[in-house]
Structure 1
Amino acid sequence: MIRAACLAVLCLPGPATAQDVALRPADRARLDAFEATVGPALLQAFAGGRLGDVDMLQEVLSGQPVAPLETTLPGDWSCRMFKLGGNLNPLVVYAPFDCTIAPDGSGFTLDKVTGSQRLTGRISLLDGRMVLTGTGYVADTPPVPYADLPPDAGGDGTIWPVVGAAEQVGPDRVRILMPQPVLESDLDILDLRRRPAAEPAPDIPADTVPDAPTPTDG
């Protein structure tokens, strides 16, 4: 099962080249190193992660991505970050937070709106692949659009560039794999699960609603 999960990710299309987004050179290098990064990070996570965390990671990696033009990304999502490899534990799984995805004409905006580390970015089609370009930031720091990030972004840990491959693997599941993130790990995986739409309140005819009791003294 572990080997199958690794192969499912490593057999993804090759690195993308931006067509309508000017990738920062360091972020282009991260995408170019996708395969070289993902394999060792997954092996480290599977070998050293806690059993329950490894089970969750395997489930996240299951499923083949649909074609980009078949995606149904807009909506409200529960999103959980997995951090693999690096100088921390082999596998760190965070609590789920809230994310939103909305269409913007030629792509989609993605915002992680809760948690101490936030994310704002854009998912667009680059050479046949859905790629996220965005900005990570701590909750009390004003976000900066990816295109406006300073060259040294990430040095102080309050704001940093984010780039990754986005895949929808079911009507209600999306995963974003981010190789060589600026902070902490060798590979970040953002697992998104669609939140069910709120059911509208039923219409109750006015004549069926009981009158409120008349207050009395005493």
Structure 2
Amino acid sequence: MKSTLLSVLAITVCAAPAVAATTSQPTSVVELFTSQGCSSCPTANAFIAGLDADHPDVLALSYGVTYWDYLGWKDTFGDPAFTARQRQYDQALDSGVYTPMMVVGGQAHAPRMPIDTATRANVPASIALVRQSGELCVEGKLPKGSKLALIGYEPGIQAVNVKKGENRGHTLTLANVVTDLDYREWSGQMVCGLHPKAGLAVLAHDATTAAIIGAARFEP
């Protein structure tokens, strides 16, 4: 990892009453596994950018994977931890590992999809991010043992000029690029001590199926 969420998101447990914060609970989550070295990925990148711009209830995230770096261009946003997350979905969904790969709600995958599939509500409002004493906390009603993914990302669009590989000479645009990833197991108690420097998404996964059973988002 380029940096760890532990340096940005110091995790503690707190039990005091929460105060409402300006955050949101997405009704749908679409995660794109992409690579700047993949000639098939720019269309999917554009799809995710459109989702983010036109559908505020959808949380759309872009992960840079690393297994195409050997083609001549090293993904500037790539991280082995993001490749590992995609492989976890492969184990849960028997999806194979490919790009572009979109995962909807942690339950279905495809290289492309109709807009109504991506925007259809698939995530219950079971967790929320709330402010307390100048920090963010995760509260919710989840089964104990659920897996929390703490995902740092850069909100908005980033442009990358690719100089080598399959996309040589092209400028790629990517939305909500993931920068950090960490995991916690839900104990039933509020998780506090979150101090994100940019966007933060918290995804709660079913411990067995990897389906997303809760989602919350913060953007400064």
Same fold (TM over 0.5): no
TM range, normalised to the smaller chain? under 0.3
- Higher relative CO (Cα under 8 Å, sequence separation at least 6) belongs to 2
The structure whose residues are more often helix, as a share, is: 1
* TM-score, normalization by structure 2: 0.26
* TM-score, normalization by structure 1: 0.26
The structure whose residues are more often strand, as a share, is: 2
